[in-house]
Amino acid sequence: AAEKTALKERIKRLLKERKAVLVAHYYVDGDLQDLAEETGGCVSDSLEMARFGRDHPAKTLVVAGVRFMGETAKILSPEKRILMPDLDATCSLDLGCPADEFSAFCDAHPDRTVVVYANTSAAVKARADWMVTSSIGLDIVAHLHAQGKKILWAPDKHLGSYIQKQTGADMLLWQGSCLVHDEFKGIELDLLKAEHPEAKVLVHPESPANVVDLADVVGSTTQLINAAQTMGATTFIVATDNGILHKMRAAAPGKHFIEAPTAGNSATCKSCAHCPWMAMNGLQNLADVLESGSNEIHVDPQVGKEAVRAIDRMLDFAA
Ligand code: CIZ
Ligand code: SF4
């Protein structure tokens, strides 16, 4: 504990010395989320992290999250230095959608409007017409559908089919998935609900359809935290990365949160419902990159220029 406190103090000192600001995702270790808040940075979803970083005067951003979040920050703030605690922290959605294969898929369907999820590489975003996050994807697809557009969607198949069902849009889906959310199980969740009939079920739409079907609220991380805070219920079953419970408990003190069941259990699965790449962010490697200035994120400027169009379209739509 003393060691932890010392590390936190060192990070606070280094952030000041380096004139850097820390932005952290809801899925990273609670200590990092607290540090981001205590030091004037932000804890949020992938989009808000990038937007906060862009609008903050600091010349150096430290992104505690996964690689696509660092890249999106760089795309929105090409003049800033973006550092990450571990450059190997990636995402199964990003890994499962390599830019060359994706580009060939788009070439094969030139009549479709290309909509990609935030959880993709800069090169994939550069090939897209629109980038969306889980909080606004549904509205944007509904808007495009109303204009008679046919959609090519990538990479998350569960989020894609959820949006397809809700909007009735013609969507061709890339078959990617999140290795955390894909593990949530509908039958087990139904049993757990029966044990807690008073509980409300909060589900992130990267989860399989039979899990989404049992939800009281389907939404992005920010939307699920808001639901926990504002809904009258006192017990919630949560189907998303369990890193989010840190913020939910702080936002809704006195309420009770239960993790939704996954394929494994705590005896067989060390990282059930927790992203192994988010877990690569820690106090030690955060302090180290601040000290050394290493682990900088680079995005090819031309790729960044192309990718920013898809992101700005979404931001303009949201405004
Ligand atoms: O699952 C993720 O990685 C999410 C929800 C990212 C985000 O948009 O904040
Ligand atoms: Fe990717 Fe899933 Fe990890 Fe989010 S939780 S970074 S979607 S693998």
Ligand nearest the Cα of residue 120 is 2
Q: Is the pLDDT of residue 209 over 50?
A: yes
197 part of a folded domain:
yes
* Ligand 2 center to 15 CA (angstroms): 27
State how many domains the chain has: 3
In a shared domain, residues 69 and 113 = no
Report residue 272's pLDDT band, with 50, 70 and 90 as the boundaries: confident
- How far apart, in whole angstroms, are the C-alpha atoms of residue 6 and residue 287? 11
319 part of a folded domain:
no
188 part of a folded domain:
yes
57 part of a folded domain:
yes
pLDDT score recorded for residue 264: 64
Instruction: HSE, CB side, 13 Å, CA atoms: give it for residue 39.
Output: 27
Ligand nearest the Cα of residue 275 is 2
- How far apart, in whole angstroms, are the C-alpha atoms of residue 199 and residue 230? 14
Q: What is the mean pLDDT of residues 225-254?
A: 97
- Whichever domain contains 40, its CATH number is 3.40.50.10800
Q: Last residue of a domain, which of 178, 205, 235?
A: 178
222 part of a folded domain:
yes
8 part of a folded domain:
yes
In a shared domain, residues 104 and 145 = yes
In a shared domain, residues 55 and 83 = yes
In a shared domain, residues 125 and 155 = yes
Is 205 annotated to bind ligand?
Answer: yes
pLDDT score recorded for residue 271: 46
* Ligand 1 center to 226 CA (angstroms): 15
Q: What is the mean pLDDT of residues 175-182?
A: 96
Q: Is the pLDDT of residue 267 over 60?
A: no
What percent of the chain clears pLDDT 70, i.e. is strictly above it? 97
Domain of 230 in residue numbering reads as 181-259
pLDDT one-digit tens code per residue, 115-166 = 999 999 999 999 999 999 999 999 999 999 999 999 999 999 999 999 999 9
49-53, 137-141, 175-179, 219-223: range with lowest mean pLDDT: 49-53
In a shared domain, residues 231 and 245 = yes
Q: Is the pLDDT of residue 228 over 70?
A: yes
Whole-angstrom CA distances from 132 to 59, 303, 310 are 26, 18, 8
In a shared domain, residues 102 and 70 = no
Which of 120, 133, 162, 184 maximizes ligand 1 atoms within 8 Å of its Cβ, making it the mutation to test the pocket?
133
Q: Last residue of a domain, which of 178, 208, 237?
A: 178
Q: Is the pLDDT of residue 311 over 80?
A: yes
Answer whether 180 contacts ligand 2 (Cβ < 6 A). yes
- How far apart, in whole angstroms, are the C-alpha atoms of residue 86 and residue 92? 16
Q: Is the pLDDT of residue 52 over 60?
A: yes
264 part of a folded domain:
no
In a shared domain, residues 63 and 122 = no
